[in-house]
Amino acid sequence: MNLDLSPDELAFQSEVRGFLDASLTPELRQAGKRATSVFMDKRFSLAWQKILHARGWAAPSWPVEHGGPGWGVMQRAIFAAECARAGAPGLAPMGLRMVGPVIMGHGTAEQKAHYLPRILSGEDYWCQGYSEPQAGSDLAALALSAVSDGEDYVLSGTKLWTTHAHWANRMFCLVRTQTEGKPQAGITFLLLDMQSSGITVQPIVTLAGEHEVNQVFFDQVRVPKSGRIGAENAGWTVAKYLLEFERGGSSGPGLKVALDGVVAMARAEGLIDDPAFRAKLARAGCALEAVEMTEHRVMAALAAGNNPGPASSMLKTQGTETLQMIDELALEAAGPYAAVDQIEARAPDANLPWVGPEHSLTTSARYLNDRAASIYGGSNEIQRDIMARLVLGL
């Protein structure tokens, strides 16, 4: 496998670096630096998306006909790596990376024309209605009912762990339209307006002290059937298509930046001279290389016109477990400063003093938030089952 960049790819890399250096304001850089999870404060993610959209770079994987740059696999990888290196704030993935590709792949011409431009511009900000109190990793157990009534469905039930539902104006949602037969056979994929009558959003404060997730209640909510993606009771197929994009995203560049940050922390605190800690860094470095090699295999498959398939499960498992390994090393490097709760000082736009070195300001929050990384998007136990069945034939 040749990992060297071609002259054209080096020129593209230089173009991206120049753009990032010129376009990332101090406020956006600080927001990226202070991020404590993969989900960025809406104010900063949308501000950055607006800048990228003006350049035509908001959706690196989208084809030209839908407003994307039409980049190849290597261009997308270079762009992701340079954004990570520059500390750019992340964009909300639910629209650009999840429901956008689903609408392209399964939506009608009218749905594509209406929703895709609004996703690109940030006019529509999306949340994902998948998990329920009794349906997390066992997503087929979902029970939110959608009863047909003329041109509408009437929704009753609840969704749980709904990231950024308190900011979203749109939701893509899995609902139950049939109770007979296999659970997977009665699920429908719907797009809905979060301002609809009967929707209540209740905040859930995480262990990190942050309001990122929510529980959403539906009390006789009417949703037009025009918002259905695919056929009624065929939503499981659409959902699996979406999960390949959720699980198969690029993680190597961000992990490399995170590991480099831990090395810098260890040097600053004198921990780099500890042989035991250096051995842990070496193990994390090996895990990171494995993630990068899996990403390159996925990229090669995509370049050949194939979808991620079960390789996305492998990448999701490797990436999240390596992330948690790096978080644990950061916690060790931060020492006693990791125990100080500084939620106000670490806010992206805060101008407050903090306790200890700045490199430890977000360490605990990152660690706590990333414990969920091996659960959301389908738990890693589920991913291993997928790999066992589809790759090993067990």
Ordered by start, the domain boundaries in the chain are: 7-91, 126-235, 248-390
Residue 249 has pLDDT above 60, yes or no: no
Residue 188 has pLDDT above 70, yes or no: yes
- Structural fold of domain 248-390: Butyryl-CoA Dehydrogenase, subunit A; domain 3 (1.20.140)
Q: Return the active site residues.
A: 246
What average pLDDT does range 193-206 have in this prediction?
A: 97
Q: So what's the pLDDT on residue 204?
A: 97
Beta strands in 194-313 (DSSP E): 199-205, 211-224, 228-229
Highest mean pLDDT, choosing among 37-41, 254-258, 312-316: 254-258
Residue 31 CB contacts under 8 Å (≥ 6 apart), including other chains? 40, 41, 44, 89, 348, 349
- pLDDT tens profile 316-353: 999 999 999 999 999 999 999 998 888 898 988 888 89
Q: So what's the pLDDT on residue 73?
A: 86
Q: How far is the CA of 368 from the CAs of 17, 340, 372, 393, in angstroms? A: 32, 13, 8, 35
Per the CATH hierarchy, to which homologous superfamily does domain 126-235 belong?
A: Butyryl-CoA Dehydrogenase, subunit A, domain 2 (2.40.110.10)
Percent of the chain with pLDDT over 70: 97
Q: How far is the CA of 107 from the CAs of 136, 188, 283, in angstroms? A: 26, 13, 44
Q: So what's the pLDDT on residue 144?
A: 98
Residue 247 has pLDDT above 50, yes or no: no
Q: So what's the pLDDT on residue 295?
A: 87
pTM above 0.85, yes or no: yes
